[in-house]
Chain A
Amino acid sequence: MAEIGEVLLDVRDLHVHFNTADGVVKAVDGVSFQVHRNETVGIVGESGSGKSVTCLTALRLINLETAHVTGEVLFKGKNLLTLPKEELRHIRGKELSMIFQDPFACLHPLYKVGDQIVEAILTHDDCGKDTAKDRTVDLLKAVGIPRPEQRFNDYPHQYSGGMRQRAMIAMALVHNPDVLIADEPTTALDVTVQAQILELIDRVKQDFNIGVILITHDLGVVSDFAQSVMVMYAGRPVEIGSRDEVFSQPLHPYAWGLLDSIPSVDQKGTRLIPITGAPPSLINVPPGCPFHPRCPHRFDPCDKDRPELADRGGGHPEACHLTVEDKRRLWNERERRRMKAPA
């Protein structure tokens, strides 16, 4: 696997707040991360943790007039949040593109799939309809659609779910983007199709040498396909590190809780240890550490001081008041318990 390259996307201290009748929804509250060339960044978290809003804001797909946004999104050095609309249009969909969760809702039902991709090409490239059509057929072929010449003229309802997602990927790739954002690309699909799509995205990443952001709630997907991982909770990252760091020595109790909640395919589970309670409302985020009401290891400062995201000596940034020694001890105890558990 090729080494990761230069920084393509640099998100700095991003805050996204929405004013609603019930109060201010702090959907994203202090997120910083980077995406490098030839790297897949996995963003994991439960629903409402701010994963999607982070990426929609990065693409400036939310209305900046109604949402209160602070921070910077630097794409190859340009701040997308302050860029004039005209310039943004040249980047978005061309150098920076996105595939969405629901391939059923993202294709126009009344236009042929091929024509929709041709339109995406012509938006940024005045190459003429015939060239665009040839390129579309090539792209459909590249993403594994059988008989692309005929399939070009099909409507979305004639495609299966997996094929629609392939067509979406083809559309995202029309201008050889530098960064591809995939927002839960396989949640609506079956496991066998999920495997096809994830392998396709991985191949695209290597062939086109691009950076990928993979948003998912499935830790298995992240550990198989991402090189670095950001775990989010209540609009904030609680742990950021390489895949090996986060999965072999996770430092945040929320990450432990997530890992304990997943029934394993590989061994007959002992009893699951769920995280108690439910994720907080983003209008009323608990004071201090937002995870403290559900955390079994909370102690004195947790309900007062919000822990900052910092490397406390564990090798990668995390946001938890426990000392690194305590974290290592607790994690190793957990591992020992798991080993002892009858298979």
Chain B
Amino acid sequence: MSQAEVVSDEIAQDPQQDALIEVKHLTKYFPVTQGIIFQKEVARVHAVEDVSFSIRPGETLGLVGESGCGKSTTARLIMKLIESTSGQIIFDGRDITKMSRKEMVPLRREMQMMFQDPYSSLNPRQTIGQIIGAPFSIHKTEGDSKKKVRDLMDRVGLNPEHYNRYAHEFSGGQRQRIGVARALALRPKIIVCDEPVSALDVSIQAQVLNLLEDLQDEFKLTYLFISHDLGVVRHISDRIAVMYLGRLVEVADADELYDHPKHPYTTALLSAVPKGYNAEDTNVSKRIVLEGDVPSPVDPPSGCPFHPRCPKARQVGGGEIPEKCRTEMPPLGEIETQHRAACWYPIEQGEALEKAAHS
């Protein structure tokens, strides 16, 4: 049983390439208050806790996890749409954590965001031309913005003649293309995509994924790609980070993570996905069904946040959860080169997790 080595500096630096964005020990608590005038904090939602990762230029980092695990909060923190409780965000060599709104304005051109819901993220009273052209007027760019908008529309596969139409005249997939065009308008360095294809039908989803890949090649974009769909994330990501209850539990290259997951949660998550038809392999029972639900982030479990549901911990302790899992938080240590996982008893190669017994 190899234990996770504790790496002193939690960001494994690649000496050749500096990260475009680096996040260190990012933490966000939302207060739960009581009272009307004198609001007393009675509890805290531990939305994001001690999250550290970096994204290299041109790379796609996938962020996966179940609902409520803090994926979207992480995205919002990075975009500085909400303020972090503690931790550091370094974008392109500059620490943006404590920057004021005014100081952020020039940087906003370089960081854009795409949202999940193509219905609520577009203003129903504006024409498509106004929506896609908004970044140009906000940042007072030079040149003919109308022509730029038409070029953008053409690039993302919309008919430029539809410049004067309203959002409701478009289908879900086309609306998401409008979102892509708007994010792309100022030629940002990074686009944070928060579940950009989750609301779309599979055939349309594939069109948008292909578009995102083409644009990445063409404009050398960097993506932080958030999704709960493990197939989509594997398809588009170079590296993947798995979140559970506000913490990163595993970070590795996409293929490495899917082929040799180290964290029991990742293993369970991957096995839960219906695999699709495979004539040779009809053994459905390999699915690890986790017990219970994700615990509340208001009162996260002590030690490793996954320990109450962890099949591996139970296996190691012979039915009981080992003391270490219950009391000590495992660090996100490098288990193999470029493969980090936060687990005291990581899954070894070739090891099969037993299907957790459930009542």
Q: What are 27 A-B contacts with C-beta separation under 8 Å? A: A146-B292, A190-B67, A191-B66, A191-B228, A191-B269, A192-B289, A193-B66, A220-B273, A220-B275, A223-B274, A223-B276, A258-B202, A261-B203, A263-B209, A263-B229, A264-B234, A265-B230, A266-B275, A266-B276, A268-B234, A268-B254, A271-B213, A272-B206, A272-B235, A274-B205, A274-B206, A275-B203
Known contacts A261-B202, A272-B235, A278-B173; is A196 also within 8 Å of B277 by CB?
A: no
Closest chain B residue, CB of each to CB of A268: B255
Instruction: State A279–B202 Cα separation when bound (angstroms).
Output: 11
Look across to chain A and name the residue whose beta carbon is closest to the beta carbon of B253.
Answer: A268
Cβ-defined contact, B358 with A265, below 8 A: no
Complex CA distance for A218 and B289, rounded to whole angstroms? 19
B275's partner among A163, A192, A196, A265 (CB-CB below 8 A) is A265
Provide the residues of chain B in CB contact with A144, threshold 8 Å. 358-359
A46 and B236 CA atoms in complex are apart in Å by 22
A221 beta carbon closer than 8 Å to chain B: yes
Chain A residues, Cβ within 8 Å of B207: 274, 276
Interface assignment of B290: CB less than 8 Å from any CB of chain A: yes
B263 in the interface (beta carbon within 8 A): no
Asked if B232 and A271 sit within 8 Å, CB to CB, the answer is no
Kindly state whether residue B268 has any CB partner on chain A within 8 Å: yes
The number of chain A residues touching the other chain, given as a range, is 35 or more
B171/A192 in contact, CB under 8 A: no
A265, B213: Cβ atoms under 8 Å?
A: no
Q: How many angstroms from the CA of A47 to the CA of B273 in the assembled complex?
A: 21
Q: Is the CB of A279 within 8 A of B201?
A: yes
- Chain A: CB-nearest residue to B272: A195
- B296-328, CB under 8 A of A: which get 1 and which 0? 000000000000000000000000000000000
Given A144-B359, A220-B274, residue A192 in contact with residue B234 (CB < 8 A) = no
B358 surroundings in chain A (CB, below 8 A): 144, 196
User: Taking A243-B277, A262-B231 as contacts, is the C-beta distance between A46 and B202 under 8 angstroms?
Assistant: yes
Q: Which chain A residues (90-108) contact chain B, with CB distance < 8 Å?
A: none
Chain A: CB-nearest residue to B171? A278
B134 within 8 A of partner (CB): no
**Across-interface contacts of A274 in B (CB, < 8 A):** 203-207, 210
Nearest-CB residue, chain B, relative to A247: B277
Q: Contact residue range for chain B?
A: 35 or more
Contact yes or no, A223 B202, CB < 8 A: no
Given A263-B209, A263-B232: A193 touches B203 (CB 8 Å cut-off): no
For the complex, is A217 an interface residue (Cβ under 8 Å from B)? yes
How does the 8 Å CB contact mask read for B178-211 relative to A, with 1 for contact and 0 for none?
Answer: 0000000000000000000000011111110110
Which residue of B has the minimal Cβ distance to A196? B289
Q: A273 near B206 (CB under 8 angstroms)?
A: yes
| Contacts A144-B359, A261-B205, A272-B209 known; 10 new A-B pairs at CB < 8 A | A163-B293, A191-B228, A193-B66, A195-B274, A219-B202, A223-B275, A224-B284, A262-B202, A263-B209, A273-B206
Chain B hits for A162, CB < 8 A: 293
Q: Chain B residues near A221 (CB, 8 Å)?
A: 274
When distances are taken between beta carbons in the complex, the residues of chain A under 8 Å from B335 are none
* Least distance between A298 CB and chain B CB atoms (Å): 16
Tell me which residues across on chain A come within 8 A of B228, comparing CB atoms. Answer: 190-191
Task: A26 to B120: give the CA distance in the assembly, Å.
Answer: 28
Residue of A nearest to B276 (CB): A220
**Set of chain B residues within 8 Å of A218, measured between Cβ atoms:** 274
Question: Complex Cα distance A275/B234, Å?
Answer: 20
Q: Closest residue of chain A to B258, judged by CB?
A: A265
CB neighbours of A196 from chain B (8 A): 289-290, 358
Number of A-B contacts (CB under 8 A): 131
Interface flags for A251-283 (1: CB within 8 Å of B; 0: not) read 000000110111111101101111110110000
| Contact between chains at B277 and A265 (CB < 8 Å) | no
Known: A162-B293, A218-B274. A192 touches B203 (CB 8 A): no
Q: Is A160 part of the contact surface with B, judged by Cβ < 8 Å?
A: yes
Partner of A263, one of B171, B204, B235: B235
Cross-chain contact of A192 among B174, B235, B272 (Cβ < 8 A): B272
CA A322 – CA B229 in complex, angstroms?
A: 34
A-side interface residues toward B, CB under 8 Å? Answer: 46-47, 144, 146, 160, 162-163, 190-196, 198-199, 217-221, 223-225, 243-244, 247-248, 257-258, 260-266, 268-269, 271-276, 278-279
B158 at the interface (CB under 8 A from A): no
Residues of B within 8 A of A265 (CB): 230-231, 234, 258, 270, 273, 275
Q: What residues on B are CB-neighbors of A271 within 8 Å?
A: 210, 213
CB-defined contacts of B359 to chain A, threshold 8 Å: 144, 146
Residues of A within 8 A of B206 (CB): 260-263, 272-275
Q: Does B279 contact A (CB under 8 A)?
A: yes
State whether the Cβ of B287 lies closer than 8 Å to any Cβ in chain A.
Answer: yes
Residues of the A chain whose Cβ atoms lie less than 8 Å from the Cβ of B272: 191-192, 194-195
With A190-B228, A268-B255, A278-B171 given, is the CB distance from A195 to B289 under 8 Å?
yes
Q: Check A217/B255 contact, CB under 8 A, given A195-B287, A243-B277.
A: no
Hey, which chain A residues are within 8 Å of B173, CB to CB? Answer: 278
A189 smallest CB distance to B (angstroms): 9
Chain B positions within 8 Å of A257 at CB level: 203
Q: A223, B277: Cβ atoms under 8 Å?
A: yes
Bound form: Cα–Cα A208–B341 in Å: 42
What residues on B are CB-neighbors of A225 within 8 Å? 274
Complex Cα–Cα for A248 and B213 (A): 29
Give A145's nearest chain B residue, CB to CB: B359
B residues within 8 A CB of A220? Answer: 273-276
Minimum Cβ distance to chain B for residue A156 (Å): 15
Q: Are B275 and A224 within 8 A (Cβ)?
A: yes
> Is the pair A258, B234 in contact by a Cβ cutoff of 8 Å?
no
